[in-house]
Amino acid sequence: MARLVVLAVLAALLTPATSVSAQPDRHADLPLAGRVIVIDPGHQLGNSRHRAEVDQPVPAGNGQTKPCNTTGTATNGGFPEATFTWRVATRLAARLRALGAEVVLTRTTNSRADWGPCVDVRGLLGNAGYRGWDRPADLKISIHGDGSLSGGRGFHVIVAAKAEGRAASTAFGRTVRGALHDRGFRDATYTAGGRGLTHRSDLATLNLSEVPTAMVELGNMRSAADARVMTSRKGQRRYAAALAAAVSRYLR
């Protein structure tokens, strides 16, 4: 009996162990497996309490500087842009993770105690080499709500005007625009010539990014019609579904 026990122990010791990396990846067959997406929920709820910090100038690309951040806008009823963008971003993140993607958010709280991050950090996050990233993200999407007093309504997508990466970001921006159309959202009536897509050279989030990036103003929070959608859970889910469809469509 003792000899059998010894043989069993030796057999166990000599059998090669199976490493974690050798285990089959349960997510490998999902459509966005291996993809890395950066989601930027605009602003932060506590920015208004940290004006000295958010007013400090930071690099914005193209030789420009801009304030670290701003307070963002709100509906006429006081619903903050920061909360709107956070709710859409977290819903979007959940959808993308369910499709197999790795998702990184530029902020991980929606708190009156927190501020930032600065727009240069938002722009750089996802670039290869920044904060030790050994590869670039596949895409970045920056989520905002507009505060136009024009009385107009609707969404518009903004991409960088810089030559480097312009084609990829423009293609992604057009995909975002199309996916929002598919969910029943319409181009802004008060900007971008009613086409829902514009190029800008003054935004750090776009200028400093080296990956395909689109910034989207999902609606005009000062419009009563847009505000009803943007403050509702149903509306936030519709926005998240449209943006998830855009990411999937562009990457697939």
Active site residues: 217
Helix axes 233-251, 166-182, angle to 10 degrees: 140
Phi (first) and psi of residue 59, to 5 degrees? -60, 140
What 8-state DSSP symbol labels residue 80? B
Check if the beta carbon of residue 39 is closer than 8 Å to that of residue 92: yes
Output the CA torsion sign for 227, 230, 235, 239.
Answer: positive
Alpha carbons 71 and 54: distance in angstroms, whole number: 8
- The two structure tokens encoding residue 205: 């989030």
Q: Encode burial over 103-114: b for 16+ CB neighbours within 10 A, e otherwise.
A: bbbbbeebeeeb
Tell me the β-bridge partners of 142. 40, 215
Task: Spell out the residues 6+ positions from residue 233 whose beta carbon is closer than 8 angstroms to its own.
Answer: 87
Are the C-beta atoms of residues 133 and 206 closer than 8 Å to each other?
A: no
Beta bridge mates, 217: 144, 156
